[in-house]
Amino acid sequence: MSRLQGKVAIITGAAKGQGLAEAKLFAKEGAIVVITDISEDGINRAAVEINETGGTALPIVQDVSSESDWKKVIKVAVEEFNKIDILVNNAGIPSRKNVEEETLQEWEKVQAVNSTGVFLGMKYAAPEIRKAGGGSIINISSVYGIIGVGGYAAYHASKGAIRSLSKTAAMDFAKDYIRVNTIHPGIIETPMTQDLFEDVEALNWLKGVTPWPRLGKPEDVANGALFLASDESTFVTGAELVIDGGWIAH
Ligand SMILES: NC(=O)c1ccc[n+]([C@@H]2O[C@H](COP(=O)([O-])OP(=O)(O)OC[C@H]3O[C@@H](n4cnc5c(N)ncnc54)[C@H](O)[C@@H]3O)[C@@H](O)[C@H]2O)c1
C-alpha cells in the first residue's frame, strides 16, 4: 500500500466526488496530498477526514480559473513540502444546454473552469515538477471529450479542449520526464450527476448504453488516476484512459 510513497500530489476539486476519492486513495498509498476546492467548508472537511485516517492532507481554497489562486497553491505546496510530483486537474462544472440554449456567459464560465483551469494548473505546476526530476499530470476530461451526445455544448467543448491540450503538453514535457495523460470517465455517480441517478428515465438510458453490469463509482476513476500517478505508468504519456464500463467501445 505504498504506490505513491514520498510523492507530493496536488488534486483540485477534492471536496467531494471523484476528487475526494482520488485524494483519499493517494493518501492511503503514501502521498502527501495538497487538496484544493472552491468550497472552503468542503475542502476543510475532506482534509480532516484524510488526516484522521492516517493520511497527510493540506487543504487550500482555490478557484481553478484564477491565475493568482494557482500561483498561491503552487507557492504554498512548495513552501510546505519542498516539491510537487503529481498534479490532478480534476475540478470541473457541468452545463447541460445545447448550442442554441447556451448563453455566452455560461459558455465562458465553463471554459474558464474546465479548460483554462487545466491550462493554468499545468503552466504553474510544470516548473516545480521539472525541478523534482519529473512526475505525472493527470487531466480529467470525459467520454464527452471524445464522443458527442447532444445537449452539452459548453461542457463537451471544454472536455475536448482538455484532451487535445494534454496531448500537446505531453509532447512539450516528455524531455523533462513529465507525463501528461487524460482520464475520460463515463457517467459516474457523484454529487455532479446525482440528479441523473435519481431520474428513472436517465438511469435506464445510462444502463442501456453501459455494457458492464454495474454503473461507475468515484473509486473506479481514482484507481485509474492512481496508476497514472504512480511510477508503474512511467512509459505512458499523451494517452487517454477511458473508464466507462465499455460505453463508448461500440
Ligand atoms: N461524474 C461524472 O459522471 C463525470 C464524468 C466525466 C467527467 N467528469 C469530470 O470529473 C471531474 C470531477 O467530477 P465530479 O463528478 O466528482 O464532480 P463534483 O461536482 O461531484 O465535484 C467537483 C468539485 O469541483 C469543485 N469545483 C467546482 N468549481 C471549482 C472551481 N472553479 N475551482 C475549484 N474547485 C471547483 C466543486 O466544489 C466540487 O467539490 C470534473 O472535471 C467532471 O467534469 C465527471
Find, among 14, 16, 132, 27, the residue nearest to 73 by Cα.
14
What residue owns the CA closest to ligand 1's atom 42? 92
Is residue 140 lining ligand 1, measured as CB closer than 6 Å? yes
Q: Is 188 in the pocket of ligand 1 (CB under 6 A)?
A: yes
Per-residue confidence at 167, pLDDT binned at 50, 70, 90?
Answer: very high
Q: Which amino acid is at 174?
A: A
* Chain centroid offset of residue 19 CA: 6
Model confidence pLDDT, tens digit, residues 30-74: 999 999 999 999 999 999 999 999 999 999 999 999 999 999 999
pLDDT at 24: 98
Using 50, 70 and 90 to split pLDDT, how confident is the model at 250?
confident
C-alpha cell at position 186: 463515463
Q: For residue 192, report the distance from its CA to the centre of ligand 1, in Å.
A: 7
Helix (H) or strand (E) holding 180: strand 178-185
- Band of the pLDDT at 5, cuts 50, 70, 90? very high
At residue 229, the pLDDT reads 99
Cβ count within 10 A of residue 111: 17
**All domains of the chain, ordered by start, with CATH?**
8-240 (3.40.50.720)
DSSP state of 190: S
**Which atom in ligand 1 lies closest to the alpha carbon of residue 159?**
43
Q: Is 10 in the pocket of ligand 1 (CB under 6 A)?
A: no
How far, in Å, CA of 129 to CA of 234, rounded?
14
pTM: 0.99
Question: Of 124, 152, 155, 177, which is the active-site residue?
Answer: 155
Q: Is 165 in the pocket of ligand 1 (CB under 6 A)?
A: no
C-alpha cell read off for 231:
511510477
Atom of ligand 1 nearest to the CA of 155: 43
Mutate to test the pocket of ligand 1, among 38, 45, 70, 95 (most ligand atoms within 8 A of CB): 38
> Could you read off the pLDDT of 78-107 as tens digits, one per residue?
999 999 999 999 999 999 999 999 999 999
Cα angle: 96, vertex 98, 104; to 5 degrees: 90
**pLDDT over 90 (residue 239):** yes
Percentage of residues in the chain with pLDDT exceeding 70? 100
Output b/e per residue, 37-60; b: 16+ Cβ within 10 A: bbeeebbebbbeebeeeebebbbb
Question: Has residue 1 got a pLDDT over 80?
Answer: no
pLDDT of residue 179: 99
Mean of the per-residue pLDDT values of the chain? 98
Helical ranges in the chain per DSSP H: 17-28, 40-52, 67-81, 104-110, 117-131, 153-173, 194-197, 200-209, 218-229
Q: Output the CA torsion 151→157→160→166 (10° steps).
A: -150
Q: Is 177 a catalytic residue?
A: no
Sign of the dihedral through C-alpha 169, 174, 176, 180: positive
Query: 142 is written with which cell numbers?
Result: 470525459
pLDDT of 219 > 90? The answer is yes
CA of 90 to the centre of ligand 1 (A): 6
* C-beta 182 within 6 A of ligand 1: no
Q: Are strands 8-12 and 32-37 parallel, antiparallel or unpaired?
A: parallel
